[in-house]
Structure formats: structure tokens, C-alpha cells
Structure 1
Amino acid sequence: MEKTAEKTALVTGASRGLGAAIAEALAPSHHIIAVARTTGALEELDDRIRARGGAATLAPMDIAVEPAMQQLVSSIAGRWGGIDLWVHTAIHAAPLGPTAHLDEKDWQKSLDTNVTATRRLIGLVEPLLLARGGTAAFFDDPRAGEKFFGHYGATKAAQIALATSWQAETTKTGPRVLLLAPAPMPTATRARFFPGEDRAPLASPIDEAARLLPELTA
């Protein structure tokens, strides 16, 4: 199969929030490979991308399932040869609770999605990025040490630690790794953490995507 030279962006966690907004913002210049577990939300994203004249490949998958991610990466390599950008916004946000009483299933899912899957994806996606001189982007949300944030705070911090190590290791060799800090947004994840919060002062995901886009595509 002949590989195409069009710019490609892999967005993991593309169904809603910042991931969906970045996918839409990139659509005019990149073919979007959108990964998320929710098929309906991906289809809605596809409609919005098409309305902007873009195109997307939908991958309704769980990033924590290793064979699915291996198959995805193989398919991307076969069709495009590599990717220009990987935007990683996928996260599991377990309910808040006291550290001494964290739910075991939620703890394991947080580890599987936020840490193990990220570590695995870095290894799988790196060759795709190197093939195009590409960029990977991660998004910090520092909650480690905050009360009741045991699940999320610990595993999100571990995810960012992995990304930071990868960034330091690839400064000279590539790929370029970005660690970005979005402004607070009225996402579903934040609503779980701060129910009843006044969401009016929060930045919209669309505005944050527009603000971050120049750095992502530099």
C-alpha cells in the first residue's frame, strides 16, 4: 500500500473536552486519527470535522487494551508511514475519596489508563513520530497531594513524570515532547471533581485549543 504524505494527528482521548477541541482545531491542516471509547461521541466529532472540510479516521478503542493499540499503530504505519503529532488527553478520573478508602477497581483502572497505557503508547508511537519528525503533547493537571485526589493525583503525576523523562531523553534525537498546562476548563472531568462550581469563569476547550495550537504545530 502506498503511504500518503498528508499531515496526520493522533488524538487519544478525542471524544470530548480538550481532546475533541484540539482535534477540531487541527482538522483543517491534519487528517485526524481520533481514539476514544465512546463511539457516539467520536461520530459527533467526525460530523464537526467534516463540517470544517476536514477528515478523520475513528478508532473506538480503549487505550488500556494493548492488542488494540498495537493494531492501531500497525494500521497507521501501513497507511501513512508515521504521524506528525500525537495529542494525549485520555484520562481516567476516578471519584474523589479519602486515601485510606480508595476503591480498588478505580485504583487499578487509574493505573491501567493513566500510567501503564501511557508508558506503552510512548513506546508504540515513538517510531511513528520519528518517521515524520513529529511532536507529542501531554497536558498537566497537578493534583498530587491534594486531599481526596489520591487516585487521580497520584496517577496523573506518574503520567507526567513518564512524559518528562521521555522529553529529557529525546531532546537531541527527537521526537519533540511538549508538556503543556491548559487553563481550567468546564470539562466532564472537572465537573466530577468540583460539582456545583461556577463554570462561567472557566476557559472553554475551544478557546484553549486555539491558544495551544501554535505551539502544537510549531
Structure 2
Amino acid sequence: MSKPVALITGASRGLGAELSKIFSLTHHIIAVARTIGALEALDDEIKSKGGSCTLAPIDLTDEKATAQLCRSIFDRWGTLKIWAHTAIHAAPLGPVMTIDSSDWNKSVKNNVTALAHFIPMVTPLLGDDSEVIFFEDKTIMKKFSSIYGATKAAQIHIAKTWQNETKSTGPRIHIFQPNPMPTALRGRFYPGENRNDLQSIDLEAKRLVSLLDM
């Protein structure tokens, strides 16, 4: 396969799905998510426009599954040109004094531990000129978002540390801050918000991709 390969983790919906569609114009897509139906719909749309896609319906917290994914990528393609990480678990909002241990543990497992385990697995697939993309959320310090905010901040701290470590060697680590979009996650956090006032997901995805110097 002559196209470079782009890995999108969290590809089934929202920003991850839109990035997959955009990158599919020039890259073969490996779409990772847990929701099989949404992945299949994404695959249909990409292929209807002449693109190519490989679906990986796995849970990123499953170390054996992610190790097998990375091994399969190496065996078939050898390298990745792009990795965009949009996967995030959002715990229910609530006061700090009501933090639920199961919500906390699930968020740490999905947002922090899974990433910490996945980076060493995916790094051998990344070249000096590969692009890795993470996404900040400026709302993480707002009230009632302690679990989501803490684990999202930890995720971005890992990304920024990796960015500092690879400035002179590659891969290129990007940390972008999307404008507010009408995603399912934002709908849960801001149920009364006028979604017409938000940037459309497809236009915001195009803006973010334009920030890459590729």
C-alpha cells in the first residue's frame, strides 16, 4: 500500500471521526474505537469517497489488544505517518466532595494509564518526521469537572513532557486546543447550550489539520 498511514484513536465519533475523513484523502486510516457500528459507518463513508480504512474495534485499556494492534501495524505497514489521539472518557460532573471511586478509577484507567501504556508500544512505529496530535480542553478547571479535568490534565502533561523530550529528534508532538464543538461529550457537560453557536466539527477538524506543517 503506497499511501502513508494515519492512526486515529477514538475514531468512531466527533473530532476523531472527522479527522479520519480528512486524513483519508491522503492516508490509509487505521480507526480505533470500541463502538463497532460507528466504526463501520465511518468505514463506509471513507470508502465511498475513494479512501481506505482498517477498523480496529478494541479497548485501549486492553494491553494485549493494543500490543497486538501495534504488532499488526508493524507487520503490514512498518510505520505510521500520523497518530491523532482523540479518545477520552468523561466521568459524570459533580462536586469534589462527591467524587465516586469507581468513576475516578475508570477515568484514570482510560485517560491516563491506557495512554502511558500505549505510547511505548506505538513509538517504534513513529519516524522522526511522524506527526502525533493531542488535544487540550480549556474547560478542565471549571467547577464540577474534577475527575474529567484531573485525568485530562494528566494526559496532556504526558504529551507535553514527550513533546519536550523529542524536540530535537522527532516525532513531532502537537498539542492543539479545539474551539468548542457540538460533540456528544460537550452536550453532556453543557446540556442547555445553544449548539448553533458552536463551531461545526468538520470545519474545526479542517482548521486543526491546517496547523500541521506537512
TM bin, normalised by shorter chain, reads over 0.9
Distance between the aligned counterparts of 2:166 and 2:145, measured in 1? 31
What's 1:197 paired with? 193
The answer to whether the 8 Å contact 1:5/1:80 transfers is no
The answer to whether the 8 Å contact 2:138/2:177 transfers is no
SS at match of 2:167: coil
The one of 50, 54, 66 aligned to 1:53: 50
The one of 185, 206, 211 aligned to 1:215: 211
What's 2:115 paired with? 118
Matched, 1:25 2:32: no
What's 2:173 paired with? 177
The one of 150, 154, 171 aligned to 2:150: 154
The one of 52, 60, 64 aligned to 1:63: 60
Aligned residues: 214
SS at match of 2:152: helix
The alignment's TM-score, normalised by the length of structure 1, stands at 0.95
How well do the aligned residues superpose, as a CA RMSD in angstroms? 1.2
CA deviation digits over 1:44-96, x for unaligned, max 9? 00011011110100000111111110000000000000100000000001110
1:186 offset after TM fit, Å?
0.3
The one of 100, 104, 108 aligned to 1:107: 104
Alpha-carbon spacing, 1:149–1:193, altered in 2? closer, same or farther (3 Å): same
SS at match of 2:16: helix
The answer to whether the 8 Å contact 1:143/1:152 transfers is no
Distance between the aligned counterparts of 1:32 and 1:215, measured in 2? 20
What's 1:79 paired with? 76
Structure 2 segments unaligned to the other structure (5+ residues): none
Distance between the aligned counterparts of 1:49 and 1:144, measured in 2? 33
CA deviation digits over 1:3-42, x for unaligned, max 9? x442000000000000000000111100000000000000
Distance between the aligned counterparts of 1:24 and 1:145, measured in 2? 31
What's 1:88 paired with? 85
1:119 offset after TM fit, Å?
1.4
Deviates more, 1:93-102 or 1:141-150: 141-150
Distance between the aligned counterparts of 2:111 and 2:200, measured in 1? 23
1:133 offset after TM fit, Å?
2.6
Structure 1 segments unaligned to the other structure (5+ residues): none
Distance between the aligned counterparts of 1:97 and 1:117, measured in 2? 24
Deviates more, 1:93-102 or 1:35-44: 93-102
The answer to whether the 8 Å contact 1:142/1:153 transfers is no
SS at match of 2:148: helix
The answer to whether the 8 Å contact 1:14/1:42 transfers is yes
Distance between the aligned counterparts of 1:123 and 1:19, measured in 2? 22
> Percent identity between the aligned chains?
53
Deviates more, 1:4-13 or 1:18-27: 4-13
Alpha-carbon spacing, 1:112–1:20, altered in 2? closer, same or farther (3 Å): same
The answer to whether the 8 Å contact 1:12/1:89 transfers is yes
